Amino acid sequence: MSKRLNALSTQLDAPLLVTDLTNVFYLTGFESSNAALLVQPGGGATLYTDFRYVEAAREVSDVEVELTKRTMMADLGERLKGRVQFEADVLPYVEWERLSAGRAKLVPTHGLVDGIRAVKEEEEIAKLRKAARIADRGFEALTAETFIGRSEKEIAWRLRELLHAHGADDLSFDTIVASGPNGALPHAHPSERIVDRGTLVTVDWGVRVDGYCSDCTRTVSTGGLPNELRRAFDVCLEAQKRACASVKAGMTGVDADAIARDPITDAGFGASFGHGLGHGVGLMVHEAPRLSTESTDTLQPGHVVTIEPGIYLPGVGGCRIEDLAVVREDGVELLTSFPKELIEVR
């Protein structure tokens, strides 16, 4: 039995039906649009899929394979019995209805596989490091080009081209390019807005390489800035550096968040930093753990997280600075390396 399946099975007191396709892939290496995995306590797992994927499934080691109908949950509802745990966070209600129509007594669970996924193996970290390096190189090439006079959409598309040219398999999410007042929107969509002189431009981008994601944000200037924007950037940068120097294993997500939040609040920008400090990254660009005022997580060695404070000033602009980091016993190892001090692009 694989190491990952074994780690999960030892935590179970009843079979767990894994329906999150990312979790199925993590546990077995099997990728499809219609699959489920039943993991038994103490060992043993059955992989279910329909006719389109069953031959590929039979190549997977450490699992038994069963062919199902395409309407899988209705089919499994007729097969499963007894106490069966399920992933309550990801199973749609309509699918739960189909599954629960059968003989099994369904028991909701939360985050069992996610907790294992959150602690990355060194092989996974190597893939994340590679993704971060490709993302750095693509953005470095972008900053050698002109920003002023180009639209946010044009810059975002050009970055996509450069990332692919440097080895990205895909983007890990839609790139954010936010200039001027749009910088006050944490999840701004690139628009037809033309980048002007004398403002900040926030770029949030990431790539997927060998199945793993990167995530990074840098904020650059296009020349001399209004005092308020320059001060906001300086405060954000110092808070981000402070967090990178202080976050470590054993710290709660709340305490990690406070390392950056407290100086931003002390500088008078507390109300302008409305999101959490960071989140886990791996096969998905958002996964456990969370670093925020609402987090219930404690950081462990091998967690890979973002550290991304931001300051957003409606009608004026904003900034965010984000690194991807591996949590170690005594601190963090940064996977992103592009300079985060303010650089000027033209």
In a domain, 193, yes or no: yes
Residue 137 and residue 112 share a domain: no
Give the pLDDT mean for 196-215: 98
- 């609402």: which residue's tokens? 294
Specify the pTM: 0.95
In whole angstroms, what is the distance from residue 105 CA to residue 83 CA? 5
In a domain, 189, yes or no: yes
pLDDT above 70 for 35: yes
Give the pLDDT mean for 35-61: 97
Residue 220 and residue 171 share a domain: yes
In whole angstroms, what is the distance from residue 276 CA to residue 69 CA? 42
Average pLDDT across the chain, whole number: 97
pLDDT above 90 for 155: yes
Give the pLDDT mean for 17-38: 98
Residue 250 and residue 188 share a domain: yes
Q: Please give the pLDDT value at position 2.
A: 87
Give percent above pLDDT 90 in the chain: 99
pLDDT band at 1 (very low <50, low <70, confident <90, very high): low
- 16: containing domain: 3-117
Residue 269 · residue 233 · CB < 8 Å: no
Residue 124 and residue 102 share a domain: no
pLDDT above 90 for 237: yes
Which tens digit of pLDDT belongs to each residue from 105-133?
999 999 999 999 999 999 999 999 999 99
Residue 128 and residue 172 share a domain: yes
Residue 140 and residue 96 share a domain: no
Domain endpoint, select from 66, 84, 117: 117
Structurally, the chain folds into a number of domains equal to: 2
Q: For residue 16, what are the β-bridge partners? A: 39, 85
The burial of 69, by beta-carbon neighbours within 10 Å (0-12 exposed, 13-18 middle, 19 or more buried), is given as middle
Q: Report the amino acid identity of residue 39.
A: V
pLDDT above 80 for 56: yes
Residue 123 and residue 110 share a domain: no
Residue 100 and residue 40 share a domain: yes
In a domain, 339, yes or no: no
Q: Please give the pLDDT value at position 250.
A: 98
Q: Is 116 left (phi over 0), alpha (psi -120 to 50) or beta?
A: alpha
